[in-house]
Amino acid sequence: LLFLEGFKNGFDTSLVHLRRLPSYYGLLHLRRQSLTLNSRVFYGARHVTPAAIRVGSNPVQSLLFRAPTQLTGWNRSSRELGRRVYFSARSDGVDLLSSSPIVSTNPNLEDCLTVIALPLPHKPLIPGFYMPIYVKDPKVLAALQESTRQQAPYVGAFLLKDGASTDSSSRSETDNVVEKFKGKGKPKKKRRKELLNRIYQVGTLAQISSIQGEQVILFGRRRLLIKEMVSEDPPTVNVYHLKDKPYDKDNAVIKASYVEVISTLRDVLKTNSLWRDQDIGDFSYQHLADFGAGISGANKHQNQGVLKELDVHKRLELTLELVKKQVEINKIKETDDGSSLSAKIRVRIDTNRDKIPKHVLKVMEEEFTKLEMLEDNYSDFDLTYNYLDWLTVLPWGNFSYENFDVLRAKKILDEDHYGLSDVKERILEFIAVGRLRGTSQGKIICLSGPPGVGKTSIGRSIARALDRKFFRFAVGGLSDVGEIKGHCQTYVGAMPGKMVQCLKSVGTENPLILIDEIDKLGRCHTGDPASALLEVMDPEQNANFLDHFLNVTIDLSKVLFVCTANVIEMIPGPLLDRMEVIDLSGYVTDEKMHIARDYLVKTTCRDCGIKPEQVDVSDAALLSLIENYCREAGVRNLQKQIEKIYRKVALELVRQGAVSLDVTDTKDTKSSAKTDSEVKRMKLADIMKILESATGDSTESKTKQSGVVAKTFKKVMIDESNLADYVGKPVFQEEKIYEQTPVGVVMGLAWTSMGGSTLYIETTFVEEGEGKGGLHITGQLGDVMKESAEIAHTVARKIMFEKEPENLFFANSKLHLHVPEGATPKDGPSAGCTMITSFLSLAMKKLVRKDLAMTGEVTLTGRILPIGGVKEKTIAAKRSRIKTIIFPEANRRDFEELAENMKEGLEVHFVDEYEKIFDLAFNYDH
């Protein structure tokens, strides 16, 4: 018993208390055994079921003590002590009394027909168990003391019904209940009736084992039924003693239940080292049922159910159910090393106490207290545990040291990416500001550009350069706000949002979070993910970010957010407002060559386990790959193709070495005896071995096979000529449909989320007749582009009228304008000038200048307005081997800012009105 005190005050005090005991000698064993338990229980082993204390045998007769689950539910507050109980297998008999080292005994059990009724707020007292309670009411306490002195140390212990208990302040709960229970100020009969209604009528005859101050230790002896109330102050009742119904010990059914309870109980017991060697085989049927119920984590109603059940078979069945549940719970709760779940939580709270914000710490402590109280309610326990697990696992106050070394950052960025000098410069500026300010928070970087240009990998590099942890959160198509802000705990399977998950996984409060594809955020009726993201990223709001699951505010202001998007126009306005956009618009052939040679080939080679000297991909092959297979703005596809090549090379190398080391012709794969599938089945290690032996690297090969290998191994060469063997026929459709555009066809430049591309505007004439002039448009054009076509038609007609007033082509011809690749929807005003040129070419039956492309919006009066995507369009034009480009005058600066290699070899004209385009397109010498 005093062992509990030991837990409360630290172990050593328990010994002091033990010495105060009359039968201290008999408890020495208890203390010794407790040594193992103590360290674990201190933080609350209340969820290790069952935590137990065992007393070894004493010279007279062994006595069992058990600290069942309820026992462990303590809270360092005296009130909670009332919930703990111990167990003795022999509760109902004179024999026990004489042998007990602790309980002062009075054998006249049968005579106890009038007893003080003690209401129990938390649990019924199951016979065989000890239960400490606190009684502060001096009258009741005095009456209890008096009855011990009278050699009749018995009371009735009755579970209080739900709703009858009160909240207490400084008073003990039992005491409060006693006070209420007495129900002063009402007519006697009514009062007594009410009192009896508040408690369960079946209770326990409890022996007062000891009284220490206000703490009274009860020991359950036998079942009682209240007959009537005889006095209220202190509450006293007349009782019947209940006896179990007779049963046939040898009945097969009851025996089967007994055996099943025993075997299930053993499962429960063995989960705790202190119970492991306990033999329960000699328990009687009744005691086994009581013991099982008492040590299971059953709630008070379940325990009361067992208490009132006098049919032993039914009682065993009830217990079996409870014990089985306990086995399930143990499976969940018990960790490998045996430390309890709540101990884990306690350690997390205590070790981080100084760093956890006050408001969070308060919630943690409250929830932790709840966790302890909830051990008898399984589902709620798991919910609370899950919540606390999340709350305590977050990296409160844990930062990674941020590195603002600009030179190092530059080195890292260069290491990871070729070119992108303007992007890198912007990032270095950002780091430099961070250095001066001492922190890099407060800014959201948005990397925008077509797929595969390195947005994600740049994000990763920034994290590396700043020494921050990296976390990627793809929000493309995300429509559930709960994904970001977490689900309220009331939902089944509720989880915290991604931000909390991120903090948990990175373990620092200042990671770099890459929010990928922010332009593809979905929408949903339950809330707007964009505004949830705004709450996350906005430096004004995110210091107090509220996750619905955690329900406490967390500080995201230390997080550095980097977003990626293909099209910034699609980013919700309020988000875009707070971002610093950095454009990555794609690579020209020259850049792709460098990236392929210096980065992609090297990494792929390494990833495939191939040594650089084993393979040679020529520049011509790479160039052909870039120009004929991977024309898109980014390099992801290029990377895939290179990987394809290297995988094939790996196979070739393996075949060379795997089959016969004297294969000399690398292209002669047919001579290989192993089939593809056979090679696939080989383990990587084997392949590596073979590769090594093929190159003569391993010592083994040097000794055994060097002679053969060295002279037979041949480097795999990949050139333009055999490229198709590795990557198949060129998949890329020639963007240039016409070598020389015919009359009525002009090349325009478009800008898509995939980067820039060239597109043709075709016009042809359908029929002629006076007044038949009109326009038919096809090619999946959007409204803006359709309007743009009509404007172009009008402007062209006007120009024609000015230049050749007698030319009535537009007045009398029905025209058809089409933009090829009809399956692709297109929109935007920037093809205006291209359309006019196309109409005029048709009207004048004159070809436009060769290798010319143009872009620009046109007004009705023929003025040219600026367009977007100059860089992308320039790249696309170069890719299509265009020599002359016409851009709006207002875009001159955009073009001039481009890197020199991009501008190289291009003749660019900037125009502000259509007249100039007319000259460039039609007044030329072929």
Catalytic pick among 788, 873, 878, 880:
873
Q: Any residues with CB less than 8 A from the CB of 224 and at least 6 apart, and which?
A: 115, 156, 202, 203, 204, 205, 239, 240, 241, 242
As measured in angstroms, the least distance from the Cβ of 413 to ligand ADP is 10
Q: What angle (nearest 5°) sits at the alpha carbon of residue 779, between those of residues 776 and 781?
A: 90
Give SS3 for 749: strand
Listing DSSP states for 45-62 in one string gives GGGSTT--------SS--
Return the number of the residue (6 or 419) whose C-beta is nearest ligand ADP: 419
Residue 830 bears catalytic tag: yes
Q: Which residues contact 842 (CB under 8 A, 6 or more apart)?
A: 743, 744, 763, 764, 765, 809, 815
Give the Cα separation of 295 and 890 in Å (integer): 83
Bridge partners (DSSP) of residue 17 are: none
Query: Can you state the angle between helices 188-198 and 173-182, rounded to 10 degrees?
Result: 150
| Residues in touch with ligand ADP (CB under 6 A) | 417-420, 451-457, 564, 595, 599, 634-636, 639
- What is the smallest separation between the CB atom of 423 and ligand ADP, expressed in angstroms? 9
E strand spans, 543-583: 545-546, 553-554, 560-565, 579-583
Cβ proximity to ligand ADP, 234 vs 634, nearer residue: 634
Please return the burial class of 103, using the count of CB atoms within 10 Å of its CB with bins 0-12, 13-18 and 19+: buried
Q: Is 873 a catalytic residue?
A: yes
Output 109 or 474, the one with its CB closest to ligand ADP.
474
Angle between the N-to-C axes of helices 11-20 and 2-9, in degrees from 0 to 180, rounded to the nearest 10: 150
Minimum CB–partner distance for residue 804 and ligand ADP (Å): 50
503, 397 in Cβ contact below 8 A?
Answer: no
Among all residues, whose Cβ is closest to ligand ADP? 454
Q: Which residue, 322 or 593, is less far from ligand ADP as judged by CB?
A: 593
Which of 454, 828 has the CB closer to ligand ADP?
A: 454
Question: What are the helix (H) ranges across 217-270?
Answer: 252-269
Pairing of strands 154-159, 202-212: antiparallel
Coil/strand/helix, residue 586 = coil
Work out how close the CB of 445 gets to ligand ADP at its nearest, in angstroms, rounded to a whole number: 14
Q: In this structure, what is the dihedral angle of CA atoms 698, 701, 704, 705, given to the nearest 10 degrees? A: -150
At 117, the amino acid letter reads A
CB nearer to ligand ADP: give 747 or 898: 898
Smallest distance, ligand ADP to C-beta of residue 586, A: 10
Backbone angles phi, psi at 133, to 5 degrees: -130, 165
Contact (CB, 8 A) for 290 and 127? yes
Half-sphere exposure of 405 (CA within 13 A, CB side): 10
Q: Closest separation between CB of residue 341 and ligand ADP, Å?
A: 40
- Specify the residue, 564 or 614, whose C-beta has the smaller distance to ligand ADP: 564
Distance CA 613, CA 126 (A): 81
Compute the least distance from the CB of residue 460 to ligand ADP, in Å: 8
Q: How far is the CB of 580 from ligand ADP (least distance, A)?
A: 17
Residue 914 in tokens? 């259509």
Please check whether residue 885 is in contact with residue 917, taking contact to mean a CB–CB distance below 8 angstroms.
Answer: no
Closest CA to 298 of 462, 37, 68: 68
Give min distance, CB of 517 to ligand ADP, in A: 9
CB 335 within 8 A of CB 326: no
Selected catalytic residue, list 830, 838, 841, 880: 830
- In the complex, the smallest distance separating the C-beta of residue 609 from ligand ADP, rounded to whole angstroms, is 18
Composition of the chain by helix, strand, coil, percent to 5: 45, 15, 35
Q: Which is nearer to ligand ADP, 657 or 755 (by Cβ)?
A: 755
Residue 216 β-bridge partners: 133, 211
How far apart CA 480 and CA 484 sit, in angstroms, is 8
Residue type, 844: M
Q: Which is nearer to ligand ADP, 177 or 565 (CB)?
A: 565
Listed in sequence order, the residues at least 6 apart from 684 whose beta carbon sits closer than 8 Å to its beta carbon are 609
- Helices 783-803/832-844 angle, 10° precision: 40
Is the peptide bond prior to 234 cis by the omega test (within 30 degrees of 0)? yes
Q: What's the rounded Cα separation, in Å, for the pair 875 and 880?
A: 9
- Whole-number minimum distance, CB 334 to ligand ADP, in Å? 44
The number of CA neighbours under 13 Å toward the Cβ of 371 is: 28
Q: Residues with catalytic annotation?
A: 830, 873
